[in-house]
Amino acid sequence: MTPGEHAPGVRLVFLGPPGAGKGTQAQVLAGTSGAVQIATGDILRRHRRDRTPLGLEAQSFMDAGKLVPDDLIVRMMEAEIAGHDSFILDGFPRTVPQAEALDALLARLGLPLVAVVLFETDRAELMARLTGRLTNERTGRTYHVVTDPPKVAGVDDDDGGPLVTRPDDRPETVAKRLVEYDSLTAALVPYYGAHGLLVRIDAMQAVPTVTAAIEGAVRRREAHVS
């Protein structure tokens, strides 16, 4: 490639508060686009389960509904992104220093982002989605007790694995995570707006409607950058 050119590929950041539907949409779009879903929370939970040094260090922050320190996250994500040219970053970056580190990494790799998709919802909806969420911790697939229940209670339709309520989806921890979002992550909206990358999606709509809105927005962005 000559300078100024960049590798083709779907490279997206999914931005929005916990419960907005980022993971749900990332799983669908990874399946249809061939991009890999890189979900920071899922990766951290795997480290916790395997009791790696990173998992042990992250644990107390996650339980408290706090963000894990930037240096740990950035090191982990550099390793996760390496080797991929199409990816959906689900849950990263979550602070301005993380976004700056991502910019530096992608500039080095010649892999600019295509778009940053902002999932917009109201707060009452987030609380209802998170407190009813059921998670397969091995695969990251989620259900909802009311709006998207599994066929057999507590069992994943796909792999028969157990579905659990994440400890940090209890209402008191959800409230703390929303405070973290407002104080540290919301600043990424003007950050990516200034970079001309932000696409706003009404995430209150049904799952397939949100998927179609993201696909349309990404196609328009791809036409714009190519």
Q: Which residues are catalytic?
A: 22, 94, 133, 166, 177
Q: Which residue is nearest to ligand AMP (CB)?
A: 41
Q: Applying CB under 6 A, does 148 fall inside the site for ligand AMP?
A: no
Q: Going edge to edge, which strands form the sheet with 87-90?
A: 36-39, 87-90, 11-15, 115-120, 198-202
Residues that bind ligand ADP (CB under 6 A): 16, 18-24, 129, 132-133, 142-144, 147-148, 206-207, 210
Q: Least distance to ligand AMP from the beta carbon of 179, Å? A: 11
3-state secondary structure of 226: coil
The CA distance from 98 to 163, in Å, is 31
- Rg of the chain, C-alpha, whole Å: 17
Q: Which residues contact 128 (CB under 8 A, 6 or more apart)?
A: 146
With residue 70 as reference, give the H or E element that holds it: helix 70-81
112 and 106 Cβ atoms separated by less than 8 Å:
yes
Closer to ligand ADP at the Cβ: 50 or 120? Answer: 120
Which listed option, ligand ADP, ligand AMP, none, makes contact with residue 153 (CB within 5 to 8 Å by class)? none
Which listed option, ligand ADP, ligand AMP, none, makes contact with residue 191 (CB within 5 to 8 Å by class)? none
Task: Provide the mask over 24-63, with x wherever binding to ligand AMP is found by CB under 6 A and - wherever it is not.
Answer: ----------------xx--x----------------xx-
Q: Applying CB under 6 A, does 18 fall inside the site for ligand AMP?
A: yes
- Per-state percent for the chain, helix, strand, coil, to nearest 5: 50, 15, 35
The CA distance from 213 to 67, in Å, is 29
Closer to ligand AMP at the Cβ: 6 or 127? Answer: 127
Site for ligand AMP in 79-118 (CB under 6 A): 91-94, 98
Q: Applying CB under 6 A, does 177 fall inside the site for ligand AMP?
A: yes
Binding stretches for ligand AMP (CB under 6 A): 18, 40-41, 44, 61-62, 65-68, 73, 91-94, 98, 168, 177
